[in-house]
A and B are shown apart, each in its own frame.
Chain A
Amino acid sequence: MNADQLTDQLTDQLTHVVAGVRDPEIDIGLGDLGVLRSVSLTGDRIQVHLAPTRLGCPALGEITRRVRSAVADAAPGRGIEIVWERGAWQPASVTAAGRDALRDAGYRVAGAPPRCPYCGCDDVARAGRFGGAVCKVPYDCRGCGSPFDVIGTAGCTVTLHSVRGGSR
């Protein structure tokens, strides 16, 4: 294997490691949640690009710590740089496996008409415009009575009625 291949191999390995780091609030890996954007390796320096689900995400510090520690364990002795790409996350960033993991944890992702993550029923009602965290909107299932959250709704489906015309 030449040096490039080794670099590719280590990059793949580190990508896998960071993708597996758990989100502090929900039982899902950063890869499936779409928070991990990329891992790159230049010389002895590892750069991890992450995207918060919201600008106001309070978990950036904890996620940074976890990613640093996971990368340091997997590739000791290299410089690690964490870059937060603010505003880059979209509901579409969640992988198919991520949607399943979120469903199992009691969440749905914005972008499709919400169904209850527990019973699959589509008779659901929004229980408010804001949830317990900035990335969540609360819903209730009228079928089985379970509360659940939709991630990424506010700001992503906002109607732009109040901004007519351009700003130029």
Chain B
Amino acid sequence: MPHVPTDPDVYEVFAQNGLGKTLGHVGSIVSPCPDAAWHLAKETYGRRDDLATLWVVRRADMTVSGGDDGDLLAAKTRMPHRQPGFPTARRRDRSAAASSPAAVILPTAAVPPAAVAPPATAPPATAALPATAASPATVAPPRFRDSAPPERRDDARGAGGSELSDLWLLLADDLFVLGNRLGERIVDYIDLEESLAVGSIGQEALAHAGTILVLSGFDQPAADAWFFDRPQGRWRVSRAIERLTDWPSTVACGLVIAAAVTVLAERTVAVEPGEGWLPAITAVRDEQLVHLDHWRRWARALAAFPETRAEFARAYAEVTERAGDMFGARPQGGSALAVTLHERFAALVGENGGPGSRMPDRPLARTAGVGGSALAYCLSRGRMVRDDYAPGVFQ
């Protein structure tokens, strides 16, 4: 149902990047008062470009569509490629295929383009899936393609195979946003060697996000649609992403994400050894261990240095507190697998990040709509050029 939201401190930001460009929604911010909101919006969204127009509107002053308004909103004339339901629809098709014994035997890397249904075949009915927080949980995500015999796969499912796949897709989102942010940091010139470090880690975070999608059965256009065309409301990043702001918080975010990916990779390798995708997941783990080591050094340096000690302690506390949802794929949270992974994760973060972690004892569920201005900025910037071209151009 269309309704009036109740978040009093949330403001929606509309900006025009130059005369002749369209005025569009670029994201949202949290601010205690309207004046400060405008200036914060200017800081957040006008950082790189001169703006021609900037409008800031309190969310509580708007009437917005709700999660069940998909039918009211669905247009039948748009290209399927741009439909928010498209990747999800494909994912559902894939997971259905994966559970049929005839369709399982496909070696990982050998993903012939023909094996992936082209966008045009997405059934029209699924294109009208409501673009809301609630829907992802109702759609079964794909399992990694594997070459295991069916009984082996069933074992894996019993051990949480499908939940692992869920978790990988969520971490791919976190890695994508982190990778982009680190790429911007190359020109932060903290130190010449640090520029190369954030560039390498950023590139690998993006590559790992892409690798996860390939393993999950996405081809290149589907992966791009997943990362670039999915509305913000359908992302379920960790709340840690909200703190992907200043350098100490970026260090803490880098650390928790590297730790989470490492833990999940270790678990995946242990659960299904010898599968076709094992080398890729092993490589992800090895590369993330290098990242983790890098962030560990930074955490130690910032915590030990008098000028940065308090600042880092605060950032580390805030990020670890929010990172409790890293393994909260399921709305109810707390599956046995999630608890196991979370415990290992919390320990690894403590070992590497040092004392002061506020990681919750148990995993928290991930929710849609978080990620704050860090996610909003990443997504809105990512669409600027892309939206000027016909669907399917960039592959």
Contact = CB atoms under 8 A, between A and B. Distances in A.
Interface of A: 47, 49, 54-58, 81, 83-88, 127-132, 134, 138, 154-156, 158-160, 162-163, 166-168
Contacts of B110: 47, 81, 83
A-B residue pairs, 4 tightest by C-beta: A87-B279, A87-B283, A167-B266, A56-B207
A154 B203 CA distance: 14
Contacts of A57: 207
Given A134-B200, A134-B203, A166-B266, A156 B352 contact: no
Contacts of A163: 262, 266, 289, 348
B199 A162 contact: no
Nearest to A57: B207
B284 to A, nearest CB: 7
A154 B294 CA distance: 11
Contacts of A156: 286
Most buried by B among A86, A128, A132: A86
Contact of B196 (A55, A85, A128, A155): A128
Question: Interface of chain A, helix or strand or loop or mixed?
Answer: loop
B347 to A, nearest CB: 9
Given A128-B192, A163-B289, 4 more contacts: A49-B109, A130-B199, A156-B286, A162-B348
Interface string B201-232: 10110111001001000000000000000000
18 contacts: A54-B204, A54-B287, A55-B207, A56-B208, A87-B284, A129-B197, A130-B193, A130-B196, A130-B199, A134-B203, A134-B207, A154-B287, A162-B293, A162-B296, A162-B348, A163-B348, A166-B270, A167-B270
Given A86-B283, A167-B344, A131 B270 contact: no
Dominant secondary structure of chain B at its interface with chain A: helix
Contact of A130 (B197, B283, B352): B197
A155 B203 contact: no
A157 to B, nearest CB: 10
Nearest to B112: A81
Contacts of B263: 167
B82 to A, nearest CB: 24
A11 B75 CA distance: 51
Contacts, number: 104
Contacts of B267: 167-168
A87 B281 contact: yes
B174 to A, nearest CB: 16
B292 interface: yes
Nearest to A56: B207
Given A134-B200, A155-B286, A128 B193 contact: yes
Given A85-B109, A128-B196, A55 B266 contact: no
Contacts of A49: 109
B199 A87 contact: no
Contact of B211 (A81, A86, A160): A86
Contacts of A84: 109
Given A85-B279, A163-B262, A167-B263, A56 B203 contact: yes
A148 to B, nearest CB: 15
Given A83-B109, A83-B110, A162 B292 contact: yes
A158 B193 contact: no
Contacts of A132: 196
A158 B208 contact: no
Contact of B280 (A87, A134, A154): A87
A150 to B, nearest CB: 14
Contacts of B292: 162
Contacts of A158: 286, 289-290, 293
B283 A155 contact: yes
B31 interface: no
A159 to B, nearest CB: 8
B157 to A, nearest CB: 17
Contact of B204 (A47, A85, A134): A134
A57 B262 CA distance: 20
A86 B192 CA distance: 30
A130 B263 CA distance: 23
A143 B112 CA distance: 50
A168 B214 CA distance: 26
A39 to B, nearest CB: 14
B151 interface: no
B109 A155 contact: no
A138 B192 CA distance: 12
B199 to A, nearest CB: 7
Contact of A129 (B211, B278, B294, B296): B294
B361 interface: no
B283 A129 contact: no
B196 A162 contact: no
B282 interface: yes
Contacts of B201: 130
Interface in B277-334: 278-284, 286-287, 289-290, 292-294, 296
A74 B201 CA distance: 39
A108 to B, nearest CB: 18
B284 A55 contact: yes
A125 B115 CA distance: 49
